[in-house]
Amino acid sequence: MEPDRYEEEGRPRAEDLLFIARRDEKKAKEGRLTVYLGYAAGVGKTYSMLQDALQRQREGKDVVIGYIETHDRPDTNALVDSFEIIPTVSIKHQNLSLRELDIDAVIRRHPQIVLVDELAHTNAPGSRHVKRYQDVEELLQAGISVYTTVNIQHIESQNDAVAQIIGIRVSEIVPDTFFSDADEIRLIDVTPEELNIRLRAGKVYIKDMAEAAVQRFFRTGNLLALRQLALRYMAESTNKRMIGYMRTRAIPGPWPTTERLLVCIRSGPTAEHMIRAAYRLATRFDADLIVFSVDIDDDRALSSQEHAWLNQALETGRRLGGRIVRYRGNDVAEEIIRYARRSNVSMIMLGKPHGLDVIFSPVYRVIRKSHGIDIHLYEPKGNSAYIPLQQQIPLFFTVEYVISFILTIATAGVNLLLREVVGSSNLLIIQLFPVLVSSFFFRRRVALFTAALSILIFDFLFVKPYYTFTIDDVQYFIAFVGYAAIALIISSLATRIRHLLPQIWQSEVEVETTSGLSRGLVEAKTRQEVFEILADQMHNFAPGVFAVLIPGSSGLQIGAGDGVYPLNDKEKAIAQWAYDNGQIAGHGTDNLPAGKGYYIPLKTHRMIFGIMAFAFDKPEEALIPENKEIFETMAFLGALALERL
C-alpha cells in the first residue's frame, strides 16, 4: 500500500481538517458538555460537580442549578446553598407529583453553566422528551453549557456487561453517541473499600437502607468489576481523543487501517444485546459498524414479538451509529459472505449456536468460506433466554405440509382410477404434479417432503410387485432420483424468486425515491418546486397524509402536500419544536412522542428550511429503521437543493 501523501508531507488529512472545521462551527453555537462519570452511587459525582461549579462561579461565571439530587447528604446540601436554583416543574402522574427539569425556565434564564444531575433519568409521561439526556441536548443547542452526572451502568454499550455483573438489567440508558460529543468526561473514582465506608456511615443512602444495599449491589466483587468497566471506558475515550488530536496535527501514527465490522442478527431476545457487544468491539478496533439481517421466511411467519425484537435491535444499531442492511434470501450463509466480500468487511460477528441449532446453523459455513475475514462468535452474557425444544425442532405439521399431503393423496387417488388405462410412465408424470406445486409455492423442505411422499406412494401403489416398497425395475429408481432433483431445483429457484421479489420491490421504491427525488431537485428552479417534489415523493412508502411545513408569519404552515394534514395545535407545537431545535420529533421518537405525526427538519450544516411531516395510517409498520434512514436522506437532499436556491 502506498503511503498517504499528506502523511509523507507532514500535513493533516483534508477530511480531518474538514471534520474539525465543522465541529468547531457547531461548537461555536452550542454550550460545552462536561460529564462526571462514576461506577456507583456514592463515589462523589454530584459533590465533585458542585465543587467545580463553585470554582467556575468564583471565576465570574454565571452558574445555576437546573436539577439536583442531594439525597440529604449534609456536605452536598451545603454546596447547593451557594447557587441559584431554577425551580423544577411538577408533573402529575398516577396521583403522584413528579419533579422534572424545567427546560423553558432554564433557557429563559440562559446562564453560562447549568447543573443537571442524574443524566440517565426517564422523564415523567407527558414531558417534552422521554429521557433527561435529550433535555440536556436541547440546553446545549440553546448555547448553555451543562455539567451532568452518570454511572457506567447507564451507558448503552456497557448495559449487557453490567447486567452480567450485578444480575439486574438497568433500563435507564444513554446512547454512546451522546458521550462522543462531550467536551470533557471526568472520572470520579474511589476504591470499593472507601465506598463501603461511606455507605455504612450513611453518606450514600439513609442508614436503615445501607446494610441491604451492601448485601445486594455493593458487594466488593460487583464494585471491582464496575470500577474496571469505568476505567476501561475512560481509557478508550481518552485514546480516541488522543488519536483525533494527533491526526489533525499530522503527528506520526502508526494509524489503524479502516476496519468494517458486520454483525449478523436474527429475530430473538438477544439480538439487541449482540448489537451492543458489536458496538463495543467496533469502538475498540475503530471500525465502521454494519448491522446485517437476512429474512428467510415470509415476514408473516414472524410473530409480533419477533417483529418487535428485530425492529428494536435494528433501531438500537441505528441509534449507535451503525449502518442498517436488511436482505431477503434463501441462504443466510451465502448472503452474509456475498455482502461481506462486496463491502470489504474485515470482521464478522455471529451468534454462537446452541442446542439443536448447532445442526441447522449457517455459522460454520460462514466460518469455512470467510477466508481473510476475522470471525467473532457472540455468547449472550448472564442467563440467556431459554429456547424451548419444540421451537428448535423444525415443525412438520404446518399448513404447508398438510396441503402437500392432501394434494399428494388426491393425485394418488386419481392415478388409481387411471392405473388400468394409462401406462405407468404417464402415471409417474401425473404423480409429479404435487411435487411441482409444493416446490413452487412452499419452502424447500416442504417440497422435499412431498417428493419423498410421492415416491413412496407411487412405489407402493403403481410399481410391481404392488403394495410393497420393492423396486424390480432400475428405471423407476432413476426416475425417483430425478423426482428429488426436480423438487430441489424447482424449490430453490421458486424460493429465491419469492424472497428476491419483495427485496426488488423495496429496492425499486428506494431507488425510485432517491433517484427521482435527485433528478427533480436538480431541475427545480424555485423553493416551492422543491417543496412539491418532496411532498410527492413522501407518498411512496405507506398510506397516510403528508406535507412539507414551512415557516410563516403565524408559525409553521403547509407549504406543499396534502391540505388535509392534521396540523392541529398539538401537532403544530411538535413540528415547531422540531424546526426550532433541528431534531426529529413526534410519533416513534423520544422527542414529544405523543403526537400522531413524524417530523423531520429540512436542514443542512448551516440552516433549517422547513419540516417534512408524515402522518401514516399505520405508523408502526411504516416507521421501521430502514424507512427512517430513507426519510432522513430525502430531507437532507431536499435541504441541499433549498440551500442551492
Environment class of 413 (CB within 10 Å of its CB; exposed 0-12, middle 13-18, buried 19+): exposed
Residue stretches of the chain with pLDDT short of 70: 1-27, 205-216, 243-258, 296-302, 329-330, 355-360, 381-398, 443-444, 471-477, 480, 483-484, 487-488, 491-492, 494-516
Supply the pLDDT for residue 7. 44
- At residue 502, the pLDDT reads 60
Which residue reads 446545549 in cell numbers? 140
Size of the chain in residues: 645
In the numeric block, which cell numbers belong to residue 132? 433527561
The answer to whether 136 and 146 have CB atoms below 8 angstroms apart is yes
Model pLDDT for residues 462-471, shown as the tens digit of each residue: 777 777 777 6
Taking the alpha carbons at both ends of the chain, their separation in whole angstroms is 42
Residue 453 near residue 406, CB atoms below 8 Å: no
Radius of gyration of the chain (CA): 31
Q: pLDDT value at position 143?
A: 92
Cell 429465491 belongs to residue: 496
How far apart, in Å, are the Cα atoms of 29 and each of 21, 23, 142, 183, 580? 13, 10, 8, 14, 14
3-state secondary structure 541-581: CCCEEEEEEEEECCEEEEEEECCCCCCCHHHHHHHHHHHHH
Assigned CATH topology for domain 524-644: Beta-Lactamase (3.30.450)
Domains 26-248 and 259-392 are alike in CATH topology: yes
Domain ranges of the chain: 26-248, 259-392, 399-495, 524-644
The CATH class of the 26-248 domain is alpha beta
- What is the rounded CA–CA span in Å between residue 189 and residue 390? 49
Q: In CATH, what number does 259-392 get?
A: 3.40.50.620
pLDDT of residue 381: 67
pLDDT of residue 298: 47
pLDDT score for 275: 92
**In this predicted structure, what is the pLDDT of residue 26?**
65
Residue 616 has what pLDDT?
Answer: 92
Tell me the CB-side half-sphere exposure of residue 587, using CA atoms within 13 A.
Answer: 18
Tell me how far apart the alpha carbons of residues 548 and 542 are, in angstroms, rounded to a whole number. Answer: 17
DSSP secondary structure letters along 449-518: HHHHHHHHHHHHHHSSSTTS-----HHHHHHHHHHHHHHHHHHHHHHHHHHHHHHHHHHHHHHHHHHHHH
pLDDT of residue 297: 53
Q: How far apart, in whole angstroms, are the C-alpha atoms of residue 262 and residue 327? A: 14
pTM above 0.75, yes or no: no
DSSP-derived 3-state class of residue 617: coil
CB 40, CB 30: distance < 8 Å: no
Beta strands in 31-176 (DSSP E): 33-38, 63-67, 84-85, 89-93, 96-100, 113-116, 145-151
